[in-house]
Structure 1
Amino acid sequence: MDRTSYRGVIVSADLLAAAALAAVPILAATGLLQMWQLYVVVVITGTCGLFAAIASQSFMPRLVPQRALLAANSTFALSSSVVATSGNAIGGALVQLLTAPIAIAVDAVMLVVSALSKARITVTGRSAGTEPPKDSMLKGIRVGLRVALFGHPALRATTIAATVGALGGQMQAVIVVLFLVRELDLSAGLVGATIAVAGVAGIVGAAIGVQITGRLGNGPTFILGMTLSSLAGLVMATAGGPVVLVLLVLVIAQLLRGWGPTLYGINQQTIRQVLVPSALLARTQATWRFLVFGMQPIGAILGGTLGAVVGLRGTLIISSLVMLTGTGFALLSPLRTLRQLPRAET
């Protein structure tokens, strides 16, 4: 993305994903659809989503002034939370009403509409000035790692805290539903309602994140969000007894799980956008995503293994302690006193 424009990336990603999805109903209608083709579609759309996410996050500082970055990131998080909460329900309804291939065709049309909307952006957003960088891609990767891990102390703290938090968070994510069903014996309806609470809390957190950050500062709000996320599993692990008490504990846990990621997410994003020079932002964003999301499959394996060895309740506790370790690193870093970000570098 250092070698092209951000606008070109986000438009192309939508169009390529739309083309891949459009192939599914066509293949289904002709009777040629096979499982391996669906895997290919998932890989293509997932790759497009990755590029679009990094480009969008790097594009933001070129579209809004620095003073509006936090609000812009909060709005972005709010829309993502709304989509995450409602998208699955709408998709399920479309599958029931129109069949799965038609529902996928609708998704492809929506991506085309998205691409047309993004194509109207007047700023191209070339990430490194008017000319693409002449250094090798391998050197660019090394630079991204250096900036993310050895650059500004606040950048280093958010990267390490988020990476450790992602490890613990995924350890927990893979066993939550099992815990609700096997340990607490909840019905499918109550499981769905419990999970929905976190989605609604995420929407609320995105809506009030700017106000909370205005009172506490960027660094302390990041730490607060990490702390809330870390405590969610510990609270959930205490659930037991009468159904009413169980549901109360679960609601509290899910509120923490919804509020936390929103509060630390919008602030870590803003911290990177302000502290990283614009020419290095895309590669730094990609490095952060590689480190944080790279922890998720490792965390999933560890969570499943621990669930089998120490039990689901014990895994909730251990994974929360792992997340608290990342939070502790942030608490001992300069983030604790980072209340106002300096002016952006160029």
Structure 2
Amino acid sequence: MAWVVRGEFRKLWIGQLVSASGSAVTTVALPLVAVVTLQASAVQMGALSALSIAPHLVFGLLAGVWVDRWSLRRVLIWTDLGRLVLLGSVPVAAALGWLRIEQLYAVAVLTGVLTLLSDTASQTMLPGLVPCEDLLRANSAALLNYNLASTLGPSAAGLLVQVLTAPFALVVDAASYVVSTVTAYLIREPARPPARSRAEVRLSAGLRVLFGHEMLRPLVVSAGVAAMAGAMGGPLTVLYLVRELHKSPGFVGLTLTTFGAAAVAGTFVATAWCDRVGLGRSYLSGVFLASLSGVALFTGITPVILLGQVFAGLGMSLFGVPQRTLRQSLAPPHLLGQVIASWRTLVIGGQTVGAGLSGVVATGIGIRPTLLIPTAGMLAGLLVAALSPLRGLREVPERARSVTRD
């Protein structure tokens, strides 16, 4: 994979790797600031978590319109600088004794908006930085960034919080945006189709592309259903392991680390697997493997639980790489930002609904039976894709060139 990380894509990849690692630290450090430094209540913690997600749901469709109209390179630069200032304000306020929970709320919302714009812009820019034949490998490399950060970041965050205290651990994330700003500044932005006039832009354009294409429609429905179902298991896993199986915190950490390590390993084999079985079947096999974690947890057998986490991590990469590549290949270039943003809105929206339902369902029928619902839901999403033309798709399609009527 390393050979594809070259040229202009190398600059984007390095910047995103550094900023993703810093963001993974903030994912742990910001809630710890609220809990340890400000003694936040359960209600305040819930509000902080919700405000971190809200921008993707409220501004998701708008973000696509903005990204398709603005310079992608400038979006990356200004969103990095904005997050540098916002996150840097927390340790400054803490040092001066001015830090309040309202500031954390504002930081959560505003960094969420900037991250939404940055992620949409980077995925929109990626196809223009690599040849079509390298797109699959480039997406594997991009997903590797996320998986590495998600696996190593929380552990690093815990150590930094212990050494520096929670507010000052955020300095690491703020500093990461200095590096990503520099790399974004050095990128030579690829040419793009002319932006459409304001009168021609419709907020629903990305949704129309997703649901109007014979390949993208089953893909987004499948992914949305699977994301909602999978999110039901996330909030319950730790609770189930500790309260019902009486596992130690060390085992909980091992379980999460196993998933992360498998996801990282999956990014190295995803391209070869796609080449061997085709993009469609790689997506199907990835969803199937990811669905097994719920059944594995239900058994309560330690080796089976760990094996389920291996399957889930591998599966996430095996379906994630073709999923990203197909969005970038099949969407009309002038609407790519809106397509990516619409996808994120639907999938993250599904995850939000699933996570919210998990507690209600578990209260009604118990935690253990609820763990089977993610498996059933993900298999339902798998069935949607398996009964569509997506199943027989083998190679990366030519990028859409026609102007989609919207």
Partner of residue 250 from structure 1, selected from 290, 305, 312:
305
| Aligned position for 1:145 | 207
Please show how residues 16-27 of structure 1 align to structure 2 within 5 Å.
Answer: 16-27=82-93
Deviations 1:277-300 (A, max 9, x none): 111111011111111111122111
Match of 1:133 in 2: 196
Aligned partners of 2:68 and 2:396: how far apart in 1?
A: 25
Please, which of 305, 318, 330 is the counterpart of residue 275 of structure 1? 330
Q: Is the 8 A contact 1:84 1:199 kept in 2?
A: yes
Given the alignment, which residue of 336, 347, 354 partners 1:292?
Answer: 347
Root-mean-square deviation (CA, aligned residues, Å) is 1.3
1:98-119 deviation per Cα after TM superposition (whole angstroms, max 9, x unaligned): 2222211121111111111111
Letter in 2 for 1:320: T
Give the alignment of 1:52-91 within 5 angstroms: 52-91=118-157
The one-letter code sitting in structure 2 at the alignment partner of 1:321 is A
Stretches of structure 2 that go unaligned for 5 or more consecutive residues are: 1-66, 402-406
Question: What secondary structure does 1:2 align onto?
Answer: helix
Residue 7 (1) aligns with residue 73 (2): yes
Q: Partner residue of 1:199?
A: 260
The equivalent residue for 2:370 is 315
Partner in structure 2 of residue 243 of structure 1: none
SS state of the match for residue 133, structure 1? coil
The residue number in structure 2 matching 1:242 is none
Distance 2:169 2:297 in 1: 35
For 2:285, the aligned partner's letter is L
Question: How much has 1:321 moved relative to structure 2?
Answer: 0.5
Residues 65 and 234 (structure 1), Cα distance of their counterparts in 2 relative to 1, 3 Å cut: same
Q: How does 1:161-172 map to 2 (within 5 A)?
A: 161-172=222-233
Return the letter of the residue paired with 2:251. Answer: L
1:163 touches 1:295 (CA, 8 Å); kept in 2?
Answer: yes
Query: One-letter code of the match for 1:78?
Result: L
- 1:226 maps to 287
Is 1:304 the counterpart of 2:370? The answer is no
Kept in 2, the 8 Å contact 1:6–1:126? The answer is no
The 2-side partners of 1:140 and 1:174 are apart by: 36
Distance 1:132 1:279 in 2: 7
2 CA distance for matches of 1:140 and 1:205? 37
Q: Tell me the residue number matched to 1:343.
A: 398
Using the size of structure 1 for normalisation, the TM-score is 0.94
CA distance in 1, matches of 2:89, 2:315: 38
Query: Is contact 1:161–1:326 with CA below 8 Å preserved after alignment?
Result: yes
CA distance in 2, matches of 1:20, 1:47: 12
- Matches of 2:355 and 2:251, distance apart in 1: 24
Q: CA deviation digits over 1:53-92, x for unaligned, max 9?
A: 1111111111001110100000111121111111111111
Alpha-carbon distance in 1 for matches of 2:384, 2:160 = 45
Map of 1:321-336 to 2, 5 A cutoff? 321-336=376-391
Tell me, in whole angstroms, the C-alpha distance in 1 between the residues paired with 2:275 and 2:258.
26
Residue range with higher mean Cα deviation, 96-105 or 86-95: 96-105
Counterpart-to-counterpart distance in 2, 1:323 and 1:317: 10
1:208 — aligned with what?
269
- Give the secondary structure class of the aligned counterpart of 1:140: coil
> Do the aligned partners of 1:4 and 1:126 also contact (CA within 8 Å) in 2?
no
Cα distance between partner residues in 2 of 1:126 and 1:29: 45
Q: CA deviation at 1:136?
A: 4.3
Q: Distance in 2 between matches of 1:158 and 1:237?
A: 28
Structure 1: 5+ residue stretches without partners: 240-245
The answer to whether residue 164 in structure 2 is matched with residue 98 in structure 1 is: yes
Tell me how far apart the structure 2 counterparts of residues 31 and 303 of structure 1 sit (CA, whole Å).
38
Corresponding position: 1:50 with 2:112: no
Picking from 242, 245, 250, the partner of 1:189 is 250
Deviation at residue 231 of structure 1 after TM alignment: 1.8
Counterparts of 1:102 and 1:297 in 2: how far apart (Å)?
30
Q: Measure the CA separation in 2 of the matches of 1:19 and 1:61.
A: 30
Percentage identity across aligned positions?
39
| 1:255 Cα offset (Å) | 0.7
Q: TM-score, normalised by structure 2?
A: 0.80
Name segments (4+ residues, structure 1) moved above 6 Å: none
- Write out per-residue CA displacement over residues 127-167 of structure 1, whole angstroms, 9 at most, x where no aligned residue: 5x2x4211448x4322111101122x111111000000111
C-alpha separation in 2, matches of 1:260 and 1:10: 30
- Whole-angstrom CA distance in 1 between matches of 2:171 and 2:294: 38
After superposition, the Cα gap between the structure-2 partners of 1:249 and 1:136, relative to the gap in structure 1 and judged at 3 Å, is farther
Kindly state the Cα deviation for residue 263 of structure 1 after the two structures are TM-superposed. Answer: 1.0
**Aligned equivalents of 2:165, 2:239: Cα separation in 1:** 29
